[in-house]
Amino acid sequence: GAGVSQSPSNKVTEKGKDVELRCDPISGHTALYWYRQSLGQGLEFLIYFQGNSAPDKSGLPSDRFSAERTGGSVSTLTIQRTQQEDSAVYLCASTLSGGGYYGYTFGSGTRLTVV
């Protein structure tokens, strides 16, 4: 696609429910990143994929968070047993392999609200 697509754009869920957030990167981009941005805060790194493998999962805040990427394309971030502190905007970014030379493109994000 022309840009990074994230869905849903908004999600309201009850505390304790599981949610899945989807990221569809730009076609051909091998590197994919997930971030979390809480209200008025900076970007918190969650996980990085190169192809289908995740060499850096260091940012996942707890074992309730997991992510996968299939076919070197779409990625899903899953949050189990959601808590109110999980409320944030979840951002996805992708780039061609090779580091920062090509720049990174962000999606519009998924705004998650846990009530």
Partner 1 sequence: GNSVTQMEGPVTLSEEAFLTINCTYTATGYPSLFWYVQYPGEGLQLLLKATKADDKGSNKGFEATYRKETTSFHLEKGSVQVSDSAVYFCALSGQYGQNFVFGPGTRLSVLP
Report the site for partner 1 in 26-45 (rule: CB under 8 A): 31, 33, 35, 41-43, 45
Please state, in angstroms and rounded to a whole number, the distance separating the CA atoms of residues 6 and 85. Answer: 21
Sign of the alpha-carbon torsion through 50, 55, 61, 62: positive
Q: Is 107 in the site for partner 1 (CB under 8 A)?
A: yes
Report the site for partner 1 in 48-87 (rule: CB under 8 A): 48, 50, 55-56
User: Judged by CB, which is closer to partner 1: 9, or 83?
Assistant: 9
Distances (CA, A) of 77 to 85, 98, 101, 102, 103: 16, 24, 26, 24, 23
Q: Is 105 in the site for partner 1 (CB under 8 A)?
A: yes
Q: Is 1 in the site for partner 1 (CB under 8 A)?
A: no
Q: Give the nearest distance from C-beta 80 to partner 1 in angstroms.
A: 26
Q: Is 98 in the site for partner 1 (CB under 8 A)?
A: yes
Residues 6+ apart with CB under 8 A from 43: 35, 36, 37, 91
Asked if 28 contacts 71 with a C-beta cutoff of 8 angstroms, the reply is no
Contact residues for partner 1 (CB under 8 A)? 31, 33, 35, 41-43, 45, 48, 50, 55-56, 91, 93, 95, 97-101, 103-109
